[in-house]
A = this chain, B = another copy of it.
Amino acid sequence: MRVLGVDPGLTRCGVGVVEGVPGRACTLVEYTVVRSDPDADLAHRLLNLDVALTEMVARHRPDAVAVERVFSQHNVRTVMGTAQASAVAILAGARAGLPVQTYTPSEVKAAVTGSGSADKAQVTAMVTRLLKLDAPPRPADAADALALAICHVWRGGTRSRLAAAAAAVTGGRGGRL
Chain A residues in the interface with B (C-beta under 8 A)? 13, 31-36, 40-44, 46-52, 70, 72, 76-77, 79-80, 83-88, 90-91, 93-95, 99-100, 102, 137-138, 142, 165-166, 168-169, 172-177
Contact = CB atoms under 8 A, between A and B. Distances in A.
Main secondary structure of the interface of A (DSSP, over half): helix
A36 B174 contact: yes
Q: Please state the number of chain copies in the assembly.
A: 2
Contacts of A76: 72, 76
Contacts of A142: 177
Q: Which of A44, A77, A95, A174 has the most CB of B within 10 A?
A: A174
Given A47-B95, A91-B91, A165-B44, A77 B84 contact: no
